Chain A
Amino acid sequence: MTLLDVQNLRVTFDTETGPVQAVRGVSFSLGRERLGIVGESGSGKTMTGRAVLRLIRPPGRIEADRMVFDGQDLMQASERDMRALRGKRIGMVMQDPKYSLNPVMTVGDQLTEGLRRRDGLGRRDAEAKAIAALTAVHIRDPARVMEAYPHELSGGMGQRVMIAMMLIPEPDLLIADEPTSALDVTVQAEVLSILDGLVRERGMGLIFISHDLRLVARFCDRVLVMYKGKVVEELLAKNLLDAQHPYTRGLLNCLPRIGGPRGPLPALDRSGAWAQ
């Protein structure tokens, strides 16, 4: 079943030097599966994720031939409809906990805010749910973290707090923008298995945005490789290592390997026709 269908998505910003297209005609559809979007910074992967939630501020423009989530046309939906979708049906884990958490609210207040306002839970119930969510993302001392302000948390803790926050309303689709880039490998594996469990058990759809090809290869079902706002290659994650496109190959080759050669790492060659 298709959860999200996007055809020819374009995101345009008007600048002093004329319009700049951050996303140039991206099409994909997503069932209850894990779709990875990989690419370097500036490739438009984050903008693609944000465009699905229509979280692009004017003067930025979103255009698409078709963008439908679970039967609902996202291009035609009112701002009010979008607000009803955001968080509850489509969650988004933002990239940087330093900028995405409210710096002057404790973690506990931020986690329970939605539960109390949206779901009308009492303080005690909301707190119990928030602590359960923090425990679910393997935070060892949830009571302490509830009282903490974002600046008192490490990057990894902050990122887990954001994941916990997004998972509380149990969305149907989660857009995770670099959800594990600040995490350690062992915690990364834990967080991925949490997300994995949600996809399997609850049938959640997941768009996993990352610059880490190895991670995506391991974790996702399908992968879109983006460069300069375009999808240059779409392939099954298990075939990622046999990717043919020179950009995908370049990204794979520039990663250091344990036990690999000590010489200079190969730099990415952007001279091909695909880079235009």
Chain B
Amino acid sequence: MSLIEIDHLSVTFRSKGREVHAVEDVSFSVEQGESFGLVGESGSGKSTILRAICGLAPVTAGTIRIDGASLPAPRGPDFATRVQMVFQDPYASLHPRHTIDRTLSEPLAIHGISGSDARVVKALEDVGLPAAFRFRYPHQLSGGQRQRVAIARALMLEPTILLLDEPTSALDASVQAEVLNLLDRLRAARGLTFLMVSHDLAVIDHMCDRILVMQNGRAVEQMPREALAEARMTTPYARSLFDASADRMLGGPARP
């Protein structure tokens, strides 16, 4: 049994009387301890899948199971202790008027966990931030530092699954490298399972064991990492995504 099982999932939004099929009939599963990547263009539904898992998107068909059990709606505190999400934009996902200390201790307060003092200090240390950052506000931090706080917050309840929605696309290349290294290290140390969304194939390739390519809400092609590295994709869309990837621009005659 897989840890996360997504079975024929569809998500439909209604906007101004029109139906928008954000996700249509997508199925995949993620094993315990695996790092699974969803890749595709914006509007392909990859982030919507993460939001659907968290109960933030209207699921119109299909099922989401974690550890074999389907999820209650609303999700409830139990879910939050197992699954946490890191959002794309560290400038928008932290409360601007809460100190880092308050941001990090809030999940503990909600779940009635004591010893928040020591846990907050430990959490900052785990993501490589100095303890003195505890009483700062988000605007006093750089983008990379904020994303570290967002990762620390996601890990406060010691979840087993992290949903990562473009965790580095708002960051500089050098900072991206640091955050990716941090995520890799945390996954190894804590045996986390990652479900990661990115539009950057090189990032997904670096972080993930298996990859699902999506387009217009549908699953196009699923492949292991090796197939991506060796360019063994079978669908034309996955091929075009691969060809357009910035990382390919380095070699060969690369002018448009």
Q: Could you list which residues of chain A lie within 8 angstroms of chain B, going by C-beta atoms? A: 40-42, 152, 154-157, 181-189, 192-193, 196, 211-215, 217-219, 241, 250-251, 254-260, 262, 264-268
Enumerate chain B residues within 8 angstroms of A181, measured Cβ to Cβ: 169
Q: Which of B15, B178, B185, B249 contacts A267 (CB 8 A)?
A: B178
Q: Which segment of B69-77, B114-122, B151-159, B197-205 sits at the interface?
A: B197-205
Task: Provide the bound-state CA to CA distance between A42 and B247, in Å.
Answer: 24
Residue contact A260 to B241, C-beta cutoff 8 Å: no
Q: A186-B241, A259-B229 are in contact. Are A196 and B247 (CB under 8 A)?
A: no
New A-B contacts (7) at CB < 8 Å, excluding given A156-B43, A255-B173: A185-B199, A192-B256, A215-B246, A217-B249, A218-B246, A218-B254, A256-B247
Does B255 interact with chain A (Cβ within 8 Å)?
A: yes
A41-B172, A154-B43, A193-B256 given; A265·B246 CB < 8 A: no
A259 and B230: CB pair below 8 A?
yes
A185 touches B256 (CB 8 A): no
Q: Which residues of B contact A41 (CB under 8 A)?
A: 142-143, 172
Residue B8 CB within 8 A of the other chain: no
A199 to chain B, nearest CB (A): 11
Which of B15, B169, B254 contacts A217 (CB under 8 A)? B254
Most chain A Cβ neighbours within 10 Å, of B43, B177, B201, B242: B177
Query: Judging by beta carbons under 8 Å apart, are B41 and A187 in contact?
Result: yes
Contact with A along B215-240 (1 / 0, CB 8 A): 00000000000001110000000001
Contact A185 B43 (CB under 8 A): no
30 inter-chain pairs at a CB distance below 8 angstroms, sorted by A residue, are: A40-B173, A40-B174, A42-B142, A156-B43, A157-B42, A184-B40, A184-B41, A188-B246, A193-B256, A196-B256, A211-B172, A211-B173, A212-B246, A213-B173, A214-B247, A215-B246, A251-B173, A251-B174, A254-B173, A254-B176, A255-B177, A256-B247, A257-B202, A258-B228, A260-B202, A260-B206, A264-B185, A265-B177, A266-B177, A267-B181
Chain A residues whose CB sits within 8 angstroms of the CB of B205 once the complex forms? 256-260
The complex places the Cα of A7 from the Cα of B234 at a distance, in Å, of: 52
Question: In the complex the two chains form, what is the Cα distance from A156 to B227 in whole Å?
Answer: 28
- For A258, the closest partner residue in chain B by CB is B205
* Contact residue among B15, B42, B200, B206 (Cβ-Cβ distance under 8 Å from A154): B42
Q: Which of B179-213 contact A (CB under 8 A)?
A: 180-181, 184-185, 199-203, 205-207
Which chain B residues have a beta carbon within 8 Å of chain A's beta carbons? 15, 40-43, 142-143, 169, 172-178, 180-181, 184-185, 199-203, 205-207, 228-230, 240-242, 244-250, 254-256
Chain B, residue nearest A190 (CB) = B244
| Nearest chain A CB to B96 CB, angstrom units | 14
Q: Say yes or no: A256-B256 contact (C-beta < 8 A), given A184-B42, A218-B249.
A: no
Q: In the complex, what residue of chain B is closest to A240 when comparing beta carbons?
A: B250
Alpha-carbon separation in the docked complex, A275 to B176 (Å): 20
Instruction: Given the known inter-chain contacts A212-B246, A256-B247, please indicate yes or no for A267 contacting B177, CB distance below 8 A.
Output: yes
Q: Which residues of B sit under 8 angstroms from A155, Cβ to Cβ?
A: 42
For A180, the closest partner residue in chain B by CB is B246
**Contact present for A258 and B248 (CB under 8 Å):** yes
In order of increasing CB-CB distance, the 7 nearest A-B pairs are A259-B229, A256-B206, A184-B41, A265-B177, A254-B177, A218-B249, A268-B174
CB neighbours (8 Å) of A217 from chain B are 249-250, 254
Instruction: Say which residue of B15, B173, B244, B255 sits within 8 Å of A186 (CB atoms).
Output: B244
- Chain A residues with Cβ below 8 Å from B245 are 185, 258
CA gap between A255 and B175 in the complex, in Å: 10
User: Which A residues are in CB contact (< 8 Å) with B207?
Assistant: 256
Assembly CA distance A215 to B200 (angstroms): 13
B188 to chain A, nearest CB (A): 11
Are B172 and A264 closer than 8 Å at their CB atoms? no
- Return A241 CB to nearest CB of chain B, in Å: 6
Q: For the complex, give the distance between the alpha carbons of A217 and B176 in Å.
A: 19
Given A217-B249, A256-B247: A250 and B174 within 8 A (CB)? yes
CB distance from B239 to the nearest CB of A (A): 11
Closest B residue to A40 using CB positions = B172
A185-B246, A188-B244 known; A267-B206 Cβ under 8 A:
no
Residues of chain B with a CB closer than 8 A to A254's CB:
173-174, 176-177
Assess the B180–A256 pair: CB atoms within 8 A. Answer: yes
For the complex, give the distance between the alpha carbons of A256 and B174 in Å: 10
Q: In whole angstroms, how far apart are the Cα atoms of A130 and B176 in the complex?
A: 37
Known: A219-B256, A255-B247, A256-B202. A267 touches B174 (CB 8 A): yes
Closest to B43 in A: A154
In the complex, what residues of B have CB within 8 A of residue A257's CB?
A: 202, 205-206, 247, 250
